[in-house]
Chain A
Amino acid sequence: MTAEGAREFEALEAQAASIMTLFAAKGYERVAPAFIQPASLFLDRIGERLRARTYIFSDPSGVELCLRPDLTLPVARVFLERGGADGISKFCYNGPAFRIQAKPERLRTREFRQAGIEYYGARGIDADLEVMALTLDVVRSCGVLDFTIRVGHIGLVRALLNALDMPQRWRDRLARAFRRQAFAEELDILSRSQADRAPALPETALDEDGLLAHLDAQGVPFIGLRRPSEIVRRLQDRAADVQEAPLSAETVRLTRDYLDTRGDVDTALDRIASLAADASLDLGPVMDDARALLDGIKKLAGCAPVIFEADFGRHFEYYTGMVFRIDAAGVDRQIAGGGRYDGLIAALSGGARDLPAVGAAIHTERLLVAASGR
């Protein structure tokens, strides 16, 4: 452990015991993943920016390892190593996680204890609400009553893009831009002519055989693991982009207005519904699900404010549906957060297992600070 005082250590231990009792009572099985994880587990999912906040080192054979910065991926790994059973599996954990902090302070330590739950195998909002309810139970039972819930919904962003008139590859581009916080720039690009995307190639090079023949004729060796089919696909996409009409001003305005939506849950959802209605867009069942989900969260929250933020949920590539964070009064870092990541298990298992997943993590030191009011 870090330089915890004896009293703080005891308080954390007592808090941890009560959190784990709550999880166990709801049928969550405790797992204890390894502290040291293969760095590629995180690098391949989260990418290079992981390095800025994770302790990464090499063992003598040159394999990159890391001190786990979070427990969601390690728990998924435990689940898959056990065979990744179909049906419902529920896990909980409580243990240290490690992050680089340029200036460590009390609420941002290099080493902290994370408690959390992972719920695999259920797609509906009942599972979302169970995870939210259990997280709020923990927060309240530890003595924190003055808190705010912020919610976003990646599924709604996707539903909006799907309802708008544009090629699927542009929807994917915008979804990726959303995650790297460059949505406005990407919208801007797609609202202009794509003439400069035209590949400077003879049309005969736009299929695999043609590409390889063209490279051969130019004396360019084919190297690397990226396949000819991947190159051809992007060449064809770029050629198709040139023919495509740019996004209309209405589409751009509608998308911007959607992302600007934030505030009280009912007001925010009404605004989204009216934005969609004005443009005669059908957001489909995702909209009804989102409404039911947010109604449910409001009930669970009681008198705690619930704020919907349409642009919340960026940064985290693996989220696919609900995303949330909980902030306590007087603590300027989130005490808990979570969401739905239906693609995670499939991605980690290389497609061998495909199970929906939803989970939440609690920063227990911050929870203790919020509870003790110190």
Chain B
Amino acid sequence: MDKLIVGVPSKGRLMEDTLDLFRAGGIAIEKTGDARGYKGAMAGVPDVAVEFLSAGEIARHLQSGRVHLGVTGEDLVREQIPDADERVDLLVKFGFGHADVVVAVPDCWLDVETMADLEEAGALFTAEHGRRLRIATKYPMLTRRFFTDKGVVHYRTVESLGATEGAPAAGMAEGIVDITSTGATLRANGLRILSDGLILRSEANLVAARAALAEPRLAALCTDIAERLRAARGS
């Protein structure tokens, strides 16, 4: 019989907080086999196989259906699954792993306070420099959707794999889309969030792949786990 495959973050604070919450819900997750391995089990729930993965991989595998239920950030879900609302359900908000995805520009751009300002500044920048204003990000999908909604077209994204906040000062981009929790790192890098530049308030979530929910037995297991975590969150 096929097991329900549950993706759990494999490292850091996110993993610890996740395991604590499951434990509070009466679900003990243990590693099976080698302690440095990536397989696990839920004590007393034989129909579940746990896989320890990075939060990004969990989002990707939820899309492909290889993972049925997973713990990951809403930012990663919305970035990596183009039709997220059709493919997955966000079942339980965990109350940790908070991160806001925001649009930030150099603080010295005193003329740019809103997304509409950014569009106009971008158009004039293109006329002046012969190329588009660059937005460094590891969230190109979220950026594109949000900018389109706000009527901003005079820009292009450039891929950033780390230290995105440093890109404008280094001359690698003009602005950024990135996650922030307190905004301190942005300020330290001479950046400021646009007044209507909040793209998403993200936190860790229990996410189910719709395809898995189509099977009654797996759906029942998902519901049971979600109920227990919800109860643990409430207590």
Query: Which residues does A use to contact B, with CB under 8 Å?
Result: 40, 43-44, 47-49, 51-52, 172-173, 176, 179-180, 182, 185, 199, 201, 205, 211, 214-215, 220-227, 230-231, 233-235, 238, 347, 350-351
Contacts and interface: CB of A to CB of B under 8 A. Distances in A.
B111 A234 contact: yes
Given A226-B121, A234-B121, A211 B174 contact: no
Contacts of B126: 44
B110 A231 contact: yes
23 contacts: A40-B131, A47-B156, A48-B144, A51-B157, A173-B120, A176-B123, A176-B154, A180-B153, A199-B110, A221-B169, A222-B108, A223-B169, A223-B190, A224-B169, A224-B171, A226-B109, A226-B133, A230-B128, A234-B120, A234-B121, A238-B111, A350-B130, A351-B130
Nearest to A102: B82
A48 B174 contact: no
Contacts of A347: 130
B98 interface: no
Interface in B87-115: 106-112
Contact of B156 (A43, A185, A222): A43
B156 A48 contact: yes
Given A199-B110, A215-B108, A224-B171, A233 B190 contact: no
Contacts of A211: 110
B62 to A, nearest CB: 20
Contacts of B133: 226
B111 A235 contact: yes
B37 interface: no
B109 A231 contact: yes
Contact of A225 (B119, B129, B157): B129
Nearest to A233: B124
Contacts of B129: 225
A51 B130 CA distance: 19
B132 A47 contact: yes
Contacts of A221: 107-108, 169, 190
B93 to A, nearest CB: 30
Interface in B140-180: 140, 143-144, 147-148, 151, 153-157, 168-169, 171, 174
A101 B212 CA distance: 27
B125 interface: yes
Nearest to A179: B153
A230 B125 contact: yes
B153 A49 contact: yes
Contacts of A173: 120
Contacts of A52: 144
B156 A223 contact: no
Given A44-B130, A44-B131, A176-B123, A231 B108 contact: yes
A224 B123 contact: no
6 closest A-B pairs (Cβ-Cβ)?
A234-B111, A44-B131, A223-B169, A221-B190, A43-B156, A224-B106
Nearest to A177: B151
A172 B123 CA distance: 10
Contact of B124 (A185, A224, A230): A230
Nearest to B174: A224
A373 B149 CA distance: 40
Contact of A224 (B108, B151, B155): B108
B154 A47 contact: yes
Looking at B129, B156, B157, which has the most chain A CB atoms within 10 Å of its CB? Answer: B156
B134 to A, nearest CB: 9
B138 to A, nearest CB: 14
Contacts of A231: 108-111
A226 B110 contact: no
A224 B168 contact: yes
A296 B64 CA distance: 56
A48 B109 contact: no
Given A51-B140, A351-B130, A226 B174 contact: yes
